Amino acid sequence: MVGGPPSHVRVRVPCKVNLFLAVRGVRGDGYHEVVTVLQTVSIYDTLVAELERSGASAHPAARRFMELAFTHDGHGAVPVDDGNLAVRAARRLMAEVGMGTSDRVGHSGLPITRLHLHKSIPVAAGMAGGSADAAASLVALNRLWEAELDQAALRELAGELGSDVPFCVSGGTALATGTGTATAQVLTRGVYHWVVGISDQPLSTPEVYQAYDRIAGPSDVEPDAVLQALRTGDAEALGAALHNDLEPAAFELRPELADGCAALLEAGALGAMVSGSGPTVVGLASSAQDASSIARTVVDRFDRVEVAMSPAGGPELSCG
């Protein structure tokens, strides 16, 4: 390759909102089957991956063994070890390309890959932050290590890491089925403006599904109205069509989320709902200006309020 391998790679990766989410039922292995329409939203984490050669050869063939060092600037609930999805993704890619690893960072003389994650996506918020970071890790290290896996191969690995990870590798807008890993890109027009109401108190996805199973059975709602609104770029129709089967379960566990949705609607949102399993609440605005004005009105209702737009593309890679 001209110019040789990059010494560092930066990937900026957006989070997601579920414009539609229907729970079809529980499989034998405990996973829920869903039908969901996902779209990336412009709140981003950034992963920087750097290769420190430590005197070892820079040639890719010399990287059969590699040390991995990981840091992040997120809060205490974000793991710094193999519990972090970005690290799990790195290890999975290492295994795929036949690379061994050593945890004795700085002591083996092996090349070191340093990963640093800058977190802005709210944690355990129903916005797929961890999944986005796993996707960022796969995309960044595929380039840094010159692994040369194509998008289909990356998405295959992604599916082993979590149900939203394949979507996060591609980004944009997708219809996902099964446990969420089977995705198809959706035709979409226009740009949508959101007010994002964020809570500092996380909500566990398994707990929300347990509450769902207690209060509701499999649903047969279809995403047609959302898909039609996206095809025509009609924000008003999209606002009316937003749907999340998990919302009653999230409201049962966190009643103040219903008040948050009501406040967004009262402030002029075209539609409002819980994002994924919550506790993030999103309101669709008719313009960027409206989004700012709604955000100002509801600012005291949430721990943090952001305005964002969608779709936000996919992971963006730059090399140095």
Active site residues: 16, 164
CA distance readout (Å), 213 to 8, 124, 202 = 46, 20, 20
- Provide the minimum distance between the beta carbon of 203 and ligand ATP in the complex, in angstroms, as a whole number: 7
Note whether 130 binds ligand ATP by CB under 6 A. yes
Q: Are 138 and 9 in contact (CB under 8 A)?
A: no
**Closest by alpha carbon to 278, among 125, 120, 131, 123?**
125
Note whether 129 binds ligand ATP by CB under 6 A. yes
Burial of 206 (0-12, 13-18, 19+ CB in 10 A): exposed
Q: Out of 223, 276, 283, 314, which residue is the one contacting ligand ATP (CB under 6 A)?
A: 276
Q: Out of 84, 113, 170, 188, which residue is the one contacting ligand ATP (CB under 6 A)?
A: 84
Amino acid letter at 37?
V
Q: Out of 67, 164, 245, 290, which residue is the one contacting ligand ATP (CB under 6 A)?
A: 164
- Provide the minimum distance between the beta carbon of 10 and ligand ATP in the complex, in angstroms, as a whole number: 16
SS3 212: helix
Q: Out of 102, 179, 205, 293, which residue is the one contacting ligand ATP (CB under 6 A)?
A: 205
Residue 105 or 123 having the CB closest to ligand ATP? 123
Residue 70 or 110 having the CB closest to ligand ATP? 70
> Which residue number has the CB closest to ligand ATP?
130
Residue with tokens 């998990």: 246
**For residue 266, what is the enclosing H or E element?**
helix 256-266
Tell me 122's DSSP state. Answer: P
Write out the two tokens for 149.
């896996």
- Provide the minimum distance between the beta carbon of 189 and ligand ATP in the complex, in angstroms, as a whole number: 26
Residue 21 or 112 having the CB closest to ligand ATP? 21
How many Å apart are CA 286 and CA 230, to the nearest integer?
A: 14
SS3 248: helix
Q: Out of 48, 68, 78, 138, which residue is the one contacting ligand ATP (CB under 6 A)?
A: 78
Restricting to residues 9-48, name those near ligand ATP by CB under 6 A: none
- Provide the minimum distance between the beta carbon of 155 and ligand ATP in the complex, in angstroms, as a whole number: 16
Note whether 277 binds ligand ATP by CB under 6 A. yes
Q: Out of 9, 37, 43, 124, which residue is the one contacting ligand ATP (CB under 6 A)?
A: 124
**Closest by alpha carbon to 95, among 145, 133, 51, 130?**
145
Specify which residues 66 forms β-bridges with: 101
Contacts with ligand ATP by CB under 6 A lie at 77-79, 83-86, 123-131, 133, 164, 202, 205, 276-277
